[in-house]
Amino acid sequence: MQIPSPAAGLSRRAWLQRLGAVAGSGAVYGALSTLGLAEASPAQAGFKLGPAPVHGRRVLVLGAGVAGLVSALELLRAGYEVEIVEFQDRIGGRCWTLRGGDRYTELGGATQDCRFDRGQYFNPGPWRIPFHHHGVLDYCRQLGVKLEPFVQLNHNAYVHSPRAAGGRPQRLREVQADFHGDVAELLAKLVRQQALDETLTAEDRERLLQALRQFGGLDEESRYRAGEITADRRGFDPFPGMGVVAHPPETDPQGLQSLLRSGLWSQLEQGASFEFQTPLFQPVGGMDRIAHALAQAVGMQRIRLRRRVNAIQQDASGVRVQVQDLDRPGQPTQTLRADWCVCTLPLSVLSQLDVQCSEPLRQAIDAVPYFSAFKAGLQFKRRFWEEDEAIFGGMSSTELPIRVIGYPNHDLQSRKGVLLGAYAFGTQALEFTALPPQERLREVLRMDSQIHPQAPAAYECGMAIGWHRHPATLGCFGDWSRVARQRHYPTLLKMDGRLILAGEHASLLPAWQEGAVLSARHAITQLHEKARAA
């Protein structure tokens, strides 16, 4: 696999990271908000529908992902009769955790058997919950889903580029300290040259110099150079206490020109954008703990697994959904009837079905492509990243197509562990999944070894998942363009006869479980109002 140049195949996330490095997190948040990717969730605890009507209260929910399960739970609490139809043999949708013994078959027939040890797991879909995703956190609280910290930013992890430092990975803290220090020194020179006389008073210039010294770790002469202050930011080598020495050893920082040319500054903003600011959380034991808690609250007896939806029909009296029992392929389709239907199927799937709806809704369904994404989880027989390199949780980033290496945030200092060995989007995701699964894992391992040379000797097994090859989703998330959202988004959210859509694609938080929660609550509120009016 060819390593693309920094300008080639620049992902939206990479662009936002570079925007943050140049213009700051405020600019990133503004851009994310414009794109519909970063919003503080308006969800509040205590969401509740009023009582269901006496008549016309049977609801069919299509899809047992987070949106479908939340819809079903709240409708049941209000007194509706609910049934869920799910294509897969499990609940959760993209809220999915792979453990030893699981089997997965993708489009094209390639099958992978998960051979992780007991207690080890990998989240191919969502793997973190921001503190401002109030809806997801509310259901975790209600249903007793235990949470633990998710480490987004680890200063002891690596940043890496094949073009920098001879391909040697460098500690994030070192590069960040040098970049901040070099920029602070440059600004301090401008202040001392009185270039800001028209903007600042003499007293303010001195305050700014003090702030720059503190921000960048500058010495009394406003210089960023080797010394105790600098070492306190970028780290000591070796660490203090390793041998009896009169003074802690000090390392030489990089110059600004070297940093700018390396491109490593673009990897420093892992925790700056709003969606990744601390604290973040993860469910203890795997992300699918959320889906299982929701399903238990709904009742598994209300969920029909392995049912493929073929058509959705509606008229003034109700909804009819044609489904095929995948365990009985030779049998005719079944017709399920209800008064109302909440459809949470991904638009990538729904656009291929016979759906009786208005033409504007049909156009909205067809208007949203889905983003490709690839993740690989690799089990190692020892946690070399902890034992050898003192990296506990968080992630390292690289310009290689694997993009990031994510370290487990749980069971620290255990013997074994599963790394997120790759998290690729767009063209890079398509390139990985053009290979058979075992070759994907070999390629991921080869690239991981450029950051961690110990990886090949410690590798045991892995799973390599491309969401664009997943039969139930045909993509990772709804990839709205600004034009499509302006033209079709309001239509997508409206009740269409007796049908209403929900899911992350029907929210301002695509790709997040919070988007699914918000969408579900919005959809069933409309359904409830219409049902009571009827």
pLDDT tens sequence across 176-198? 877 777 777 777 777 777 665 66
For residue 278, being part of any structural domain is answered with no
Residues 500 and 523 in one domain: yes
Considering the entire predicted model, what is its pTM? 0.85
Which residue segment(s) compose the domain that 258 sits in? 164-262
Residue 248 — pLDDT band, cuts 50, 70, 90?
A: low
For residue 210, being part of any structural domain is answered with yes
Residue 17 has pLDDT above 90, yes or no: no
For residue 515, being part of any structural domain is answered with yes
Residues 363 and 378 in one domain: no
Query: How many structural domains is the chain composed of?
Result: 3
Q: What is the CATH number of the domain that holds 177?
A: 1.20.1440.240
User: Which residues are CB-neighbours of 329 under 8 A, at least 6 positions away?
Assistant: none
For residue 271, being part of any structural domain is answered with no
For residue 256, being part of any structural domain is answered with yes
For residue 282, being part of any structural domain is answered with no
Assess whether the previous peptide bond of 238 is cis (omega < 30° from 0): yes
By CB neighbour count within 10 A (0-12 exposed, 13-18 middle, 19+ buried), where does 304 fall? Answer: middle
For residue 18, the model assigns a pLDDT of 47
Residue 371 has pLDDT above 60, yes or no: yes
For residue 177, the model assigns a pLDDT of 79
For residue 251, the model assigns a pLDDT of 66
Q: What is the CATH number of the domain that holds 71?
A: 3.50.50.60
Residues 460 and 494 in one domain: no
Residues 89 and 151 in one domain: no
Task: Pick the closest to residue 66 from 149, 139, 166, 163 (CA basis).
Answer: 139
Residues 250 and 317 in one domain: no
For residue 190, the model assigns a pLDDT of 73
Task: Pick the closest to residue 73 from 341, 295, 346, 344 (CA basis).
Answer: 295
Instruction: Return the biggest CA–CA distance within the chain.
Output: 86
For residue 268, being part of any structural domain is answered with no
Residues 172 and 229 in one domain: yes
CA dihedral (501, 505, 510, 511) positive or negative = positive
Of 469, 491, 516, which residue constitutes the final position of a domain? 469
Residues 85 and 148 in one domain: no
By CB neighbour count within 10 A (0-12 exposed, 13-18 middle, 19+ buried), where does 294 fall? Answer: buried
Assess whether the previous peptide bond of 279 is cis (omega < 30° from 0): yes
Residues 187 and 233 in one domain: yes
Residues 136 and 106 in one domain: yes
Residues 85 and 149 in one domain: no
Residue 152 has pLDDT above 70, yes or no: yes
Task: Pick the closest to residue 230 from 176, 274, 303, 271 (CA basis).
Answer: 176
Task: Pick the closest to residue 303 from 64, 57, 65 (CA basis).
Answer: 64
Q: What is the CATH number of the domain that holds 399?
A: 3.90.660.10
In a 3-state reduction of DSSP, which class is residue 335?
A: strand
CA–CA separation, 531 and 534 (whole Å): 5
Report the chain's C-alpha Rg in angstroms.
26
For residue 252, being part of any structural domain is answered with yes
CA–CA separation, 22 and 179 (whole Å): 11
